[in-house]
Amino acid sequence: MKNDELLTRGVSNVTPKDLAEKKLKSGKPIRLYLGIDPTGSKLHLGHSVPLRKLKAFQEAGHEVIFLVGSFTAMIGDPSGRDKQREALTEEQVEENFQTYKDQASKILDFRKVQLRYNHEWLESLTVKELAGLATHFTVQQMLERDMFQERMKKGNPIAILEFLYPLMVGYDSVVLDVDLEVGGNDQYFNLLAGRTLQTALGKRDKFVLTTKLIEGTDGRKMSKTYNNCIYLDDEPRNMFGKVMSVQDILMETYFECCTDVPMSEVQQILGGEPRDAKARLAREIVTLYHGESAAFEAENAFTKVFSRGELPDDMSEIKVKKGSMLLDVLVSEGLIASKSDARRLVEQGGIKLNNTPVASIEAQAEEGVVTIGKRKFVRLRF
């Protein structure tokens, strides 16, 4: 990424922008960080956007810190939640982070970043010190947050503990004393809390940069809840197929946030045939996480199955007993997550046996090819 794109490409907001431009023009290395709470173990393309921004600053010669919310993950970030998160144990946090790091290493070179854990200072924070931090915020400020407004409308509780979360992640900025904090635009309130505290406690003046959120394969916010994620550890063919299913209107954002293709070239690509543009997008993304040869192999497989109507060469085969219930077989083999998902797919015509939609949840397994959705194929034999 070019230096002049550090504050623009994949960026939702920079606050304050004049401070950001001044610090960049100074020629001095910017000290910045990204904080993550390892509350889950699978990363998707949405997670990749702030990671890619961190990488861009790293490659531009700036001082990058990767902060693990080893303490705050046990409290739970209320951002975007309609209920309080369940607390995690120390063991769960560490296990999640190791999995997170393995996947994030596809983007970020952890040998070139400072790795910090916020339990180093938050565990020893006294009640007096916490009360001091609280004097810089009001209840009205906290209640302005959208998710708290929604909860109050629904009569759902808001825990006092959730008010403390911005104070604690804001204190991370104070301890790290940074020029910049990077985060998704759903973290804007928390990032500004850090800016407030750094100023109040006499630290350097910090600007914040939020990255764009990207929509999933169904056009809604990419989320495990919606089952619309493109995961960083998806197999090449699956990743390629998922990108090809993304709505055309989202292609420019995907190119901008998830690839290294120059934006001038992106405009040329998008000016051509939409299917060719999306295939280029899918190749670029698969190449980043699996390599160029895997991307071209995935594209060839996709073309064979979806353009020519042929069956994939490497289809798995399952031996089943006569009289077995088809949905039971598919769920037990892990091809469908649950029986409720299987029922929904049947209702939507999303399961086919020998190219004929399965009409009943009571259908028995037969020899032949089962198609699940658009990208899963399995051959059944007795």
Tell me if 377 sits within 8 A of 237, measured CB to CB. no
Contacts (Cβ under 8 Å, ≥6 apart) of 320: 329, 365, 380, 381, 382
- The class (CATH top level) of 224-307 is mainly alpha
* pLDDT tens for each residue of 217-270: 989 999 888 889 999 999 999 899 999 989 999 999 999 999 999 999 999 999
Q: How far apart are CA 371 and CA 374, in angstroms?
A: 7
Per-residue pLDDT of the chain (382 residues; tens, 9 = 90+): 667 799 999 999 999 999 999 999 999 999 999 999 887 778 999 999 999 999 999 999 999 999 999 898 877 665 544 455 566 777 888 888 888 899 999 999 999 999 999 999 999 999 999 999 999 999 998 888 877 888 888 888 888 888 888 999 999 999 999 999 999 988 999 999 999 999 999 999 999 999 999 999 989 999 888 889 999 999 999 899 999 989 999 999 999 999 999 999 999 999 999 999 999 999 999 999 999 999 999 998 888 876 655 666 666 778 888 878 888 888 888 778 788 888 888 888 888 887 788 888 888 888 777 888 776 777 787 7
- Verdict on whether the full-model pTM lies above 0.85: no
Sign of the torsion formed by the C-alpha atoms of 268, 231, 85 and 225 = positive
Pick the CATH number of 316-381 from 3.10.290.10, 1.10.10.60, 3.40.50.720, 3.40.50.280: 3.10.290.10
Question: Two tokens at 180?
Answer: 């910049």
d(CA 347, CA 264): 44
How is domain 3-211 classified at the architecture level of CATH? 3-Layer(aba) Sandwich (3.40)
Domains 3-211 and 316-381 alike in fold: no
Tell me the C-alpha distance between 259 and 11, whole Å. 14
Give the tens place of pLDDT for each residue, 269-327: 999 999 999 999 999 999 999 999 999 999 988 888 766 556 666 667 788 888 788 88
The span from the CA of 258 to the CA of 43, in Å, is 13
In terms of DSSP H, where are the helices of the chain?
17-25, 45-59, 90-104, 119-122, 127-134, 139-143, 146-154, 160-176, 188-200, 236-244, 251-258, 263-270, 274-290, 292-302, 326-332, 339-347
Given a contact cutoff of 8 angstroms between Cβ atoms, the answer to whether 6 and 48 are in contact is no
Give the start-to-end residue ranges of the domains of the chain.
3-211, 224-307, 316-381
